[in-house]
Amino acid sequence: MAQQTTGRGTFVPLAFGPGEAFQFDWSEDWAVLAGVRTKLQVAHFKLSHSRAFYLRAYLLQTHEMLFDAHNHAFVVLGGVPRRGIYDNMRTAVDRVRRGKERDVNARFAAMVSHFLFEAEFCNPASGWEKGQVEKNVRDARHRLWQVVPPFPSLPDLNAWLEERCVALWHEIEHGKLAGTVADVWAEERAALMPVPRPFDGFVEHTKRVSPTCLVHFERNRYSVPAPYANRPVSLRVYADRLVVAAEGQIVCEHQRLIERNHHGAGQTVYDWRHYLAVLQRKPGALRNGAPFLELPAAFKRLQAALVKQPGGDREMVEVLALVLHHDEQAVLAAVELALESGAASKTHILNVLHRLLDGKPAPAPVTSPQALKLAVEPQANVLRYDQLREVRYAS
């Protein structure tokens, strides 16, 4: 009878040494971001010895989010344990084979090699093999998610989560060892491996730039410098940004947009600097070009002044092109000074810009009397013309 019942709901308690292992899991939770109730994918880390834990929220559960979570978690936890315990998530395991054999995702394996820990995967449907973090997911719902306030953005929420996690370490008793979780973590920290530089955790895609200098990703569009139009580029996708590379060089970078609404047309993110090469050939596109709707205020004021003059579009393009060779803030300062002086022209802006770059002060103003007075005031006497006529007839 004992042999028949053994194994049904029977488990072996686990014990871990300092710095030996951490457990990882994902969960789905909700928070109000920018006034909208948003479903979040939350990464959970828990040190198996001290039970110190860390949470970080994302909008997606993808490779780049997983890599970013590890970068932040090891910094907050103060080091890297020697082993990581995971379930068979798709961002880590391509295929589950017999027993403990796994076909590990290449990018996940690169991250593991970077941090120098050993990845261990649970048996399928065996959540008790990482029971600490499974319990942490349940505990976090009433410790954190039931009391989470609304936040304007996801980074603000993650800053609050990090602060609350560390504060809870000091409030929660360890249970098996003397002191709080923070007390045991302070002792375990010395046994953790040092944190290396952050893992460059991107996922790479090959994209072709459209004739309008845009690349498409997740229904959104991002601008690329005009020389790369109609050419293939490499799009490196990070958790919070997109980096475009070509010919071994970084071409541009954009903040990543993630939309949970799958029915819209997406958004277009322009950088007006990317279109300056096109403007130099087609200056008329400046007036109604979509990328130039969000020019800095000083440039818009200058454009309003120049557009009234013959050739003003081309002159405005030449002023904008100065940012390709000089610091943009210096160009903006020169434009503002030129507008204040009432001489809104390319020549004057170049003069002011060179003085700013050379560190030379502006020339002293010329002081003159308010009203110049003549020594001999002219007289309005038309009789003198009659005198000239008389002289002529007399001759």
The pLDDT tens digits of the residues spanning 317-367 come to 999 999 999 999 999 999 999 998 888 888 889 989 988 888 777 666 666
Residues 223 and 325 in one domain: no
Residues 260 and 139 in one domain: no
pLDDT number for residue 391: 58
Residue where a domain terminates, one of 191, 220, 252: 191
Residues 73 and 162 in one domain: yes
Yes or no: say if 87 and 44 are a contact pair by the CB < 8 Å rule: no
Residues 215 and 172 in one domain: no
Strand duo 232-237 + 241-246: pairing: antiparallel
pLDDT number for residue 381: 79
Residues 187 and 210 in one domain: no
Yes or no: say if 157 and 151 are a contact pair by the CB < 8 Å rule: yes
Candidates 42, 6, 293; CA nearest to 162 is 42
pLDDT number for residue 364: 65
Domain CATH number, residue 52:
3.30.420.10
pTM over 0.85: no
Residues 309 and 210 in one domain: no
Strand duo 118-121 + 241-246: pairing: unpaired
pLDDT number for residue 129: 61
- Can you read off the two tokens belonging to residue 71? 């970068």
CB under 8 Å to 118, separation ≥6 — which residues?
Answer: 82, 83, 84, 112
- Write a three-state SS string for the chain: CHHHHCCCCCCCCCCCCCCCEEEEEEEEEEEEECCEEEEEEEEEEEECCCCCEEEEEECCCCHHHHHHHHHHHHHHHCCECCEEEECCCCCCEEEECCCCCEEECHHHHHHHHHHCCEEEECCCCCHHHHHHHHHHHHHHHHHHHCCCCCECCHHHHHHHHHHHHHHHHHHCECCCCCCEHHHHHHHHHHHCECCCCCCCCCEEEEEECCCCCEEEECCEEEECCHHHCCCEEEEEECCCEEEEEECCEEEEEEECCCCCCCCCCCCEECCHHHHHHHHCCCHHHHCCCHHHCCCCHHHHHHHHHHCCCCCHHHHHHHHHHHHHCCCHHHHHHHHHHHHHHCCCCHHHHHHHHHHHHHCCCCCCCCCCCCCCCCCCCCCCCCHHHHHHHHHHHHC
Residues 108 and 221 in one domain: no
Structural domain including 165 reads 15-191
pLDDT digits (tens, 9 = 90+) for 261-271: 767 788 999 99
Residues 216 and 186 in one domain: no
Residue 53, domain member (yes or no): yes
Residue 317, domain member (yes or no): yes
pLDDT number for residue 284: 86
Residues 341 and 314 in one domain: yes
Residue where a domain terminates, one of 223, 247, 269: 269
Domains: count for the chain: 3
Instruction: Identify the segments of the chain with pLDDT beneath 50.
Output: 1-3
Residues 22 and 142 in one domain: yes
Residue where a domain terminates, one of 328, 343, 358: 358
Residues 156 and 231 in one domain: no
**Bridge partner residues of 237 (DSSP):** 203, 242
Question: Measured between alpha carbons, how far is 247 from 390 in angstroms, rounded to an integer?
Answer: 90
pLDDT number for residue 2: 44
Residues 28 and 53 in one domain: yes
Yes or no: say if 66 and 183 are a contact pair by the CB < 8 Å rule: no
